[in-house]
Each structure stands twice: as C-alpha cells, then as structure tokens.
Structure 1
Amino acid sequence: MTSDMTARMLRLLSLLQTRREWSGSDLAERLSVTARTVRRDVDRLRELGYPVDSARGHAGGYRLAAGTDLPPLLLDDDEAVAITVALRTAAGGLSGIEETALRALAKLEQVLPRRLRGQVTALHASLAGITWEDRGPRADPALLATLAVACRDHEVLTFDYAARHGTATARRAEPCHLVASGDLWYLLAHDTDKDDWRLFRLDRITAPTLTGRRVAPRPVPGGDAAAFVAGRLSSAPTRYRAIATVHAPAERIRARTQGLATRLRPVDDTTCLVDASDDHLSHIARILIGLDTAYTLDADPEVIDHLHETALRMLRATNRLPPA
C-alpha cells in the first residue's frame, strides 16, 4: 500500500511539473483515483515542501508554484537526455557558467539510468558546432563529469598524465577543485606519490579511474583555490615567452577580454602587463589580437617571426602588400 501511494505521489508530482494548472478531475482521471485522494496527496506534497497552489470551486484546480527553495524535479527519459547533452555542451564551451553547469552535470549523470547513457553519448557525439578560430585543446565533457564527482566526493583518483613533451606517467591523486582558465580546464589535486599539490591540464589526462577510496578534504594552501591556481599558472614554464605592456587600465582589458584573469597584472592606473606566453604560437597570436588596443611586446624570436608572418598574410589578403 505504501509503495502504491509513493508511486502515485511521484506520478502526481510529475504531472504538476508538466502543465501550468490541472483540474482536480483531470488529475483524478490520470491517476485512477478519486478527487478526495488527489486532495490528500496534494497535502502530502505540501508537507514535503512542494508549494502546490489550489483554486477553490467545482473544478478544484492545482498548480505547482514557485517557492523559496528549488524542490527535486522529475524528468522523463527525453528530458533527462536533453538536459544532460545541454549541460555537457555548456560545461565544455560557454564562458561564465562552466563550473555551475559542471556541478549540475555531475549530479545528473550520477543518477542517469544505464539505458539513457548510450543515447546521451550518441547524441552528443553527433552534434557539430561551427568554430571560426582555433580555440586550442578542449576538455572532454565526460572527463569533466568524472572529475567533478571525484572532487565532490573527495575520492582518490588514478589516471595517466602526459607532460608538455608527451611523456605519460601514471598518477594517483586526491582531487580538490576544477578550475577554468581561458580555454583550458585544470584539476587541482594533491599528488599522493609526490606528497604535494599539483595542477593537471584536463586535455592531458587519460584513463581516469575512481578508486572507491574517500579521504578527508585537504585545505587548499592560502584557502583560495582560484588564487592558488592563478599563482601556479603565472609561474608555470611555457615553450614560448610573450609579455605585452598594454597601454590601458587592467580593469578595462579584463572587462573586454575573456580568459585573462590569471595573465593580467596592473602596473599603474593606465598600464598593465598581459602574459601571453604559451606552448602554441597560434594561441599567443590569438591572445594578442584580442587585446584590441596599443601595446609593446617583449617576446621570443619565434613569437616575433610568427606574428610577422601572420601580419604579412593579412596585409596581402587585403591588397595592402604585393603578393609574395
């Protein structure tokens, strides 16, 4: 009897979430119960914290109202697949909501039925977006979801990690935070073998495995994960060095350019430094072009040559220079 009532209340909740308002008679017909039973089930939902409004009268209409807290939502199969694909896309590419989408994705994928996982993977793989520029390496949404669960549950993780020069090593770590910087995602974790904090680029992580061993969360040095990651990134070695002295206030550049939070340092009220150093020459060029203001550049010869060749191609394309 209890299981029947629970199933009926879940069905009632699902119906209330699909239409703005239901009459009592319609709900009773859908649930194969009396109008009195519908009223009792509505009262039980209210006791559980669901804000169900009712209109008096012959029809006895009901609707699920907005409340002070978001109650659990019931999704059918198609809705669950659609939301999961949307969250995977947002986590991998939309600026400003990546981390929020990632938390929601971790919750949803944890309870997603096995029968729907194949649909989600197939649909996400079939989607194609137009990219007008090389945005550099992107994180795999499935990997993001796995690491998000590991961070949330403080579960020890093993994975293979490729260094800058391609050499892969096996790692074992206690994951702490996922941090986005520009086009890249990083895992902040405590490396158990090295007994030290490490930053791992997600595009270099393969074969992540949850060990099932949970540990107490470690406090991040300094107490601020984002600030700690920013400090590590600013001192991390790169293949090519490129430092721009920009003739504009730091706040103006930060507001007009995405992904420079860890690369930007104020000099005075009218000048700032932008560290565009990177392992890829094309990425350096994209950062500098995005500044959209006057600057001077201190960079390696390879960077200067690449920028010079890029500028010549652009000038020839606009007939400002004769063909080579």
Structure 2
Amino acid sequence: MVGLLKTWRDLRRKGVMGINQRNADYILKYNQRQFFPLVDNKVLTKERARARGIHVPQAYAVVRTEREIAKIFEIIDAHDDFVIKPAHGAAGEGIVVISDRFDDLYRTVSGRLLSRNDLSHHLSNILTGMYSLGGAPDQALIEYRVKSDPIFERISYSGVPDIRIIVLLGYPVMAMVRLPTQQSQGKANLHQGAIGVGIDLAKGCTLQGSWMNRRITHHPDTRNMVDGVAVKHWDALLHQAASCYEMCHLGYIGVDMVLDKEHGPMMLEVNARPGLNIQIANNAGLAARCLQVEEQIRMLKKQGAEENVQDRVRFSQSLMD
C-alpha cells in the first residue's frame, strides 16, 4: 500500500493525469452534456466542421433507412474506393474500408473480397445499432477513403496513421500519431495493437512512443526508429484541431486528424472522452500542461482579453520551448 501511495504521489508530482481527475476536473467541468450528441454522431460532426471551414473527407452518402440500402450502389459504384462508417460507432468498430474492385466484388484493405450482399448486410447491421454507442439505431456514412501521406511509410504498417490532438478550451495541449501495426491489422487503434508516438507540439516532430503500454523506440514491423519524423502541415493540423472548440462547444476534447497525400490535413472525428495513453506516448503529463492553459485563461480574463485560434496555438507551442 505504501509503495502504491508513493507511486501515485510521484505521478501527481510529474503532472500525470489519472482517469478520475480527467472525469472530474475536465470532462464534467468543461463538457456540457447537451453538446455530446454532436460529437457522438460523425455525420453531424462533419456537417458542422464543413460549415466552419474545417477540412473533412468528402461524404458520398448517408444511409438512414433499410429502403435506402438497395439504392446506395448507384452512388458508391461511381467510386473505386470508399469507407463505410457507423455514425455513432466507437473504437473503430463497424468500419469497412474498400480499396478497389475485382469484377463485381469489393476488395477491403486487408484483401478480403465482399459482394453487394455482404455490403448490404453490413449496412443493415449498422442501421440496427450493432456498432453504435448503447446499441441505439444508427446511420451509415459512406465517404472518401483517405490516402496516407508518404511521410509515415517508414514507420507504419499498412493502413492510415491518424493524429490525436488533445484540446483544452481551444488550446492544443498534447499530440500523438497512432501508427498501424500487423497486430492491429492495419488499423490506427491503440487497443487493437497500434503504436502511439508522441509529437513535439512546437516542432511537429515525432518522439519515442508506446506499444501495449510500454515504451518503444522502433516500429515492431518495419524495425525503423519512430522518432525524428517531421510532420507536414503541422501548424495547419494544430489550427484545425484548435478550431474544433468553437465548432462543438466542448472544452476538453480529443481531435482525430489525418494527413491525406492529396488534400493535406483532414479532421476525422472529435472525442468528448479522450483516453490517457497519449501521456505514455509523450512521456509527459497532461495535467501539468492543462494547468498552464487554465492559468493563461485566468490571466487573460483579468485583463479583459482573449486569444484567437492562432494565438492559442502559438501559446501552446511556447509551452514546449
């Protein structure tokens, strides 16, 4: 017991945030329940993002009823590749990524071939709520398939890496890139075996990372070192992530971004309950940085001033200098 207490005190001293602190001091304090439905619905999130000039993948169609499934192939057959997502899905469940065609079949990124009946069945499962939060009836979003920027090829296995940025009251406070592995089957999902690699907020360069909750320096599949990669369009990524504060009115969020090789930075989704593994990836504590942001906001209020998106990003980057 004494050892556990000492460990807890050491973590608190280093500014590491625990789940209870995250829930009480940040999610409950800054995230009003009335705004949760916006970020829990990918269709609504992206509609609102487009309206605010935040770049998101192009939506090809939204399937809302069983009757619409039969007609949807008139739309998706105009595209060689696309992604199917549950509007209310979580942890990557229910997402199907089609990379190309073979005759009248659809090939997934893992090489599996699906028929029209297979896709119809999957769409029907989405509508019934098989992958939604709480099992409630859902909608299916069909959208542009992101093509990963080549900068991550050396340190990623298949799939599309994504960038998670934690934003507090419009200030980016921590970031990491999630790299697919063979174990994660090409998905950028930490719980399925992807790697989390920290990113220096000021420089936009990758740091060392974590895999299965342990520190690592090399990707287990490519064997290449994961640090030292300069992330392209870094300032634009931070700017778009910070802009999500005004878009969703939630004070503590995780913004998931991607770098498309043709279209640059794109926002995939916003999470109102972001996890804490990003601290392991950065070897740094979230609480310490959040306290600095909160102090900055208190100081600005005393002065009767406020900062715009560009100012907020600049301040966040100054914390790393």
How does the TM-score come out when normalised to structure 2? 0.24
Bigger helix share? 1
